[in-house]
Amino acid sequence: MGGWIKIFSKFLQWEWFDKAEMVQLFIYLLLCANYKDLYWRGIPVKRGQLLTSRDKISKDTGLTERQIRTCLSRLKTTGEIAVKTTNKYSIITICKYEEYQDDLQSARPAERPAECQSNDRQATSKTTDKATTSTEDKNIRNKEISISEDIDTKKSRKATSPSASAEAQAEEPTEKIPFAEIKNLWNSTCTGFARLVVISDNRRNKIRNRVAEMGGVEKALPIIKTIFEKAQASSFLKGDNKRGWKASFDWFFENDKNWVKVFEGNYDEKPAGTPQVRQYKPKDDVNDLWK
């Protein structure tokens, strides 16, 4: 494709100039429009017109078909183009092609193509250096703003939800849970229990809750170490009981009661002949752990 086109400096004042996809598409249409009347398979394609399709425009420009459809709609609304569409192709007319590309010395006023005259009857008269926004364009922009605000609102709601707050707190550098260290401590200390292989998301959530109850990571790690040591020393927790029940890693972190009972010594070994009496103090007593 040879030749060239004119672009006036007033193009900088075009109402769509701040939207890159609009500038790209409009310049593409100007470059592809016929500079003289031609025929394509018996179909007349006049000067200032091009026969194309959204698929071809997409391949040439890299714009998505949705972007192209939106941009063409805007250009029609503001009177830059007229579009005649069939099931196979579209004929796009650049309404001010003669004004853009005609000889600067020509005294003849540029004629509006017949295809664009219907746009003139339906829309308010426009000039290149005075941009006015049509009702349809306002609707498009308002819709874009509404969608953006809706997305921001959803993000805000998500950020202020209890689950989001817990996640945000867990992700703070000062409250980063050393899951690997807890896993290694269990495997090295609690050799009388099943070896821990994976710390799943469910386990992570439970560990976070227990660490919060213990007063944070710094205070929790010594408490967890003590709990694991007491568990390893307890024959009851390792299955030496009437039911044959055996504690697991998950049991220690299941709720706000189990770890407290172990930490307070309810499962410590008793002297021979002493009945195993397990007592549980009120939860409020747990506060003494981190005072």
Integer Cα distance of 70 and 66 in angstroms:
6
CA distances from 119 to 12, 151, 169 (A): 24, 35, 57
Integer Cα distance of 138 and 8 in angstroms:
27
Portion of the chain with pLDDT greater than 70, in percent: 67
Q: What is the pLDDT of residue 100?
A: 76
Residue 225 clears pLDDT 80, i.e. is over it = yes
pLDDT category of residue 97 using cuts at 50, 70 and 90:
confident
What is the 3-state secondary structure of 125-160? CCECCECCCCHHHHHHHHHHHHHHHHHHHHHHHHHH
pTM of the model: 0.40
Task: Of 36, 42, 147, 56, give the one whose Cα is nearest residue 97.
Answer: 36
What is the average per-residue pLDDT within 51-64? 93
What is the average per-residue pLDDT within 71-94? 91
pLDDT per residue as tens digits for the range 249-273: 999 999 999 999 999 999 998 776 6
pLDDT per residue as tens digits for the range 164-215: 444 444 343 446 899 999 999 999 999 999 999 999 999 999 999 999 999 8
Q: What is the pLDDT of residue 9?
A: 85
Question: Which domains, and CATH codes, for the chain?
Answer: 9-147 (1.10.10.10), 166-290 (no CATH)
Task: Of 98, 101, 103, give the one whose Cα is nearest residue 113.
Answer: 98
Q: What is the pLDDT of residue 88?
A: 83
Residue 278 clears pLDDT 60, i.e. is over it = no
Pure H helices in the chain: 20-32, 54-61, 65-77, 97-101, 114-122, 135-160, 162-171, 179-189, 201-213, 217-233, 249-252, 258-263
Query: Is residue 184 within 8 Å of residue 228, measured between CB atoms?
Result: no
**Cα distance between the two ends of the chain:** 82
pLDDT per residue as tens digits for the range 19-56: 999 999 999 999 999 888 998 888 899 999 999 999 99
Q: What is the pLDDT of residue 143?
A: 55
Q: What is the pLDDT of residue 242?
A: 87
Q: What is the pLDDT of residue 69?
A: 92
Q: What is the pLDDT of residue 73?
A: 93
Residue 154 clears pLDDT 90, i.e. is over it = no
Phi, psi of 276 (to 5 degrees): -80, 100
Q: What is the pLDDT of residue 4?
A: 81
Integer Cα distance of 193 and 66 in angstroms:
59
Q: What is the pLDDT of residue 128?
A: 46
Integer Cα distance of 16 and 14 in angstroms:
5
What lies within 8 Å, CB to CB, of 107 at 6+ separation is none
